[in-house]
Structure 1
Amino acid sequence: MTEPPEPAAAEQPETGARTGTTGTTGGTGGPDSRQPGRGAAAAARAARSLPQSVSGRAALAGAVVSGLLILAIVFGSRLLHDFDSALLPYAVATVFLAFGVAYRYTVWVSAPGARRLFRKGWRSLFSAENFRRTPTALPKMIATYLGFQKFLGARSHARWAAHQLIFWGCILAALITFPLTWGWFTFTSDSGAGPGYAMRIWGIKVLGFDSLSFIGWVMFHGLDLAAVLVIPGAGYFLWRRMKDRGAITGQRFAYDMVPLLALIVISVTGLLLTFSSIFLHGGGYEFLAVLHMVSVVFTLIYIPFGKFFHIVQRPAAVGMQLFKYTARQDDEVFACRRCEEPIDTGPYVENLRGTMRDLEFGFDAWAEYCPRCKRVLRGNAYLTQVKKGFK
């Protein structure tokens, strides 16, 4: 969860990422290169004009989502009958989390590039035509791209394995923690002292189990299992960020290191709570409980405004992958205008050009050239316009 880039940036090929450079560093004689400064000026104007209206919509979205979550907590816990007041700080943190996620998501999709990708992706996701032609494409992409994240294997098998440990550990922890925090899940003893327990969802009994059985052990130690998964995964990435030159060069402590440290602190303090209750007869339990609570609350509030936000963005990327996949099925592959090597799907290149037009960049046709050809054209421009030797 801490390594992959956000979908809005990750899904842009080099054809789009470098057009700003190729279009502003001197005319290359290519299409629409007549006004090299126009894109930067337009972007600056957009940055000055957007914040007030966007922040207003984002704040409204955050208020609505957090309000709906509060109602869900109240009614899901049967008018707070099943709500555990000891978990109030966690519940309050999830309300702030809901506000922050809705706020940040609204700001994100308000940007022209992200908005266009968002619309195309979700349109492909809910397209009846796509489902009719390729009914297995969506489940396959959800499993491989969102679940097992096979694209990470191209970077490193070790990074993929570590990311999987963090991903599934956090998923397991969230599935347990959030419903318990909101009072949706309850565990009640059949006899008042055990060992028979009943798990209830919204007050309805769904499962009975013996606390001394294997199922009972898993039920009561699910968060410990999640911690055992997260610690080695986060530890690997923390080690890599302290040893790998490429990671060290561009990393920022608050953005890259804090998420990993937070995951480790949450996991370690959670395991220590179990250790205290089993081996120390509760010694130091209160201090550990407070430390664990503070680390969890901090992390929940941090999620919308830090590197963890890509967790929320990732599902939208599945729709974008489906958009590109369906275009490939129709053989709509766009070739470079200069070397005729395939760049990407035709609809995707056109979508990229549309985004650049939305941003009022005057060189959107550069998306029709592959990265190599753009570098060649730019080099030729330097030779013809700046002269050899840059004298």
Structure 2
Amino acid sequence: MTEPPEVPDAPAKPPVPPAAAADAPAAPGKRGPLPVAQRATLAGVAVSLLLILAIVFGSRMLKDFDSALLPYAVATVFLAFGVAYRYTVWVSSPGARRLFKEGWRSFFSMSNFRRAPTALPKMIATYLGFQKFLGARSHARWAAHQLIFWGCVLAALITFPLTWGWFTFTSGTGSGPGYEMRIWGLKVLGFDSLNIVGWVMFHGLDLAAVLVIPGASYFLWRRMKDRGAITGQRFAYDLVPLIALIVIAVTGLLLTFSSLFLHGGGYEFLAILHMVSVVFTLIYIPFGKFFHIVQRPAAVGMQLFKYTSRQEDEAFPCRRCGEPVDTAAYVENLQGTMRDLRLDFAEWAEYCPRCKRVLRGGAYLTHVKKGYK
């Protein structure tokens, strides 16, 4: 009598990668987490509604809202939706999510503040304000980036509150030269439009344009001449944002020129062209290269995390040569991200860059070139 044949064990169910676990169906009777796209859509809708409410109440129930600026205001609402949507999708990835959490943990850590109270202001000034890391690449690129950065910051500080009706310029006589700047209906500053302070107040956007034009022109010239930049650039992603900035700045200056020297000649056409370029750029920001403006503050959290880790731990030594790689906390965080992504070489994070190149070269000679002998 023969024994019945053995039935092979059922294959083990493969583990679900964490990146896909959020989109996996929930067990019967349980509600699982929403897919990333739905969470991002909800975040975008919530932020857009909050901005609309801020516009309504900040303009005193639209009393101070200028209807001529409605297209700009609508574009900012679309901008808020796009930024919230893409940021949610970005933070949902394992690597960004880990650094996002660690950055906020370092930010709210009282022990970090007591140990290094000047760390956060230093990181903000270094990585957001003066972007010193760009100086290591090229002083010209750093200068051009600073011109664009401060020009855009100045323009945003003026344009957004003015578009939303948060602050207004009023004159008791209706035509000046004395004006009052009011924020949410409250008088903040009174000035004479004929003196230097008044001139700067009324021409702040022109000053911003003067900063942006040379900076954007330099990067546009570089992308047309530099062979390395030409190789990897994409027209819609790399060139369109620079062209849009230049068009916005030039048409803004031409509006002032038309008003001062042409008695308003061509003003209507220039105003429409300027509005179209601004609206297009605002809507395009979340989907193009300018999104890194929104991502840049996350670099502050990452650098703060690395800085505070250095204060606590010694540098992690390379497993091959013993040279310091980075802090133990940062290496562990990188390995965790690689495991989340199911990359089966997390131990490579424990080697310095030089030793990685040496090991890769040895592996090539052993396993690849050997086949050609």
Which TM-score applies when normalising by structure 2? 0.91
Mapping of 1:1-391 within 5 angstroms?
53-388=35-370, 390-391=372-373
In the alignment, structure 1 segments of 5+ residues that lack a partner are: 1-37
Superposed CA RMSD: 2.0
8 Å contact kept, 1:42–1:361: no
Equivalent residue, structure 1, for 2:28: none
8 Å contact kept, 2:19–2:341: no
User: Larger Cα Rg: Structure 1 or Structure 2?
Assistant: 2
Distance 2:287 2:109 in 1: 32
Distance 1:149 1:376 in 2: 33
Q: CA deviation at 1:370?
A: 1.6
SS of alignment partner, residue 197 of structure 1:
strand
Distance 2:262 2:274 in 1: 17
Aligned residue identity for 1:63: V
Q: CA deviation at 1:231?
A: 0.2
Measured against aligned partners, the alpha-carbon deviations of 1:303-327 in whole angstroms (never above 9, x if no partner) come to: 0111101111111110110111112
Q: CA deviation at 1:373?
A: 1.6
Q: CA deviation at 1:66?
A: 0.2
Q: CA deviation at 1:388?
A: 2.9
Task: Rate the CA distance shift 1:133–1:52 in 2: closer, same or farther, 3 A.
Answer: closer
Distance 1:319 1:45 in 2: 26
Equivalent residue, structure 2, for 1:35: none
Q: Which stretch shows the higher mean deviation, 370-379 or 342-351? A: 370-379
Q: CA deviation at 1:269?
A: 0.2
8 Å contact kept, 2:162–2:168: yes
Q: CA deviation at 1:48?
A: 8.1
Measured against aligned partners, the alpha-carbon deviations of 1:238-280 in whole angstroms (never above 9, x if no partner) come to: 1111111111111111111011000000000000000000010
Aligned residue identity for 1:325: Y
Structure with bigger RCO (C-alpha 8 Å, 6+ apart): 1
8 Å contact kept, 1:227–1:268: yes
SS of alignment partner, residue 299 of structure 2:
helix
Measured against aligned partners, the alpha-carbon deviations of 1:133-163 in whole angstroms (never above 9, x if no partner) come to: 0101111111121101111100011110000
Q: CA deviation at 1:384?
A: 2.6
Task: Rate the CA distance shift 1:360–1:306 in 2: closer, same or farther, 3 A.
Answer: same
8 Å contact kept, 1:336–1:370: yes
Aligned residue identity for 2:104: W
Q: CA deviation at 1:335?
A: 1.4
Measured against aligned partners, the alpha-carbon deviations of 1:342-367 in whole angstroms (never above 9, x if no partner) come to: 11111111100010111122221111
Which TM-score applies when normalising by structure 1? 0.87
Distance 2:84 2:339 in 1: 27
Q: CA deviation at 1:88?
A: 0.1
Distance 2:95 2:313 in 1: 25
Q: CA deviation at 1:379?
A: 2.4
SS of alignment partner, residue 310 of structure 1:
helix
* Number of positions where the alignment pairs a residue of Structure 1 with one of Structure 2: 353
In the alignment, structure 2 segments of 5+ residues that lack a partner are: 1-13, 26-32
SS of alignment partner, residue 356 of structure 1:
helix
Distance 1:335 1:116 in 2: 23
Measured against aligned partners, the alpha-carbon deviations of 1:62-117 in whole angstroms (never above 9, x if no partner) come to: 00000000000000000000000000000000000000000000000000000001
Q: CA deviation at 1:389?
A: 5.9
Distance 2:207 2:271 in 1: 18
Task: Rate the CA distance shift 1:249–1:52 in 2: closer, same or farther, 3 A.
Answer: farther
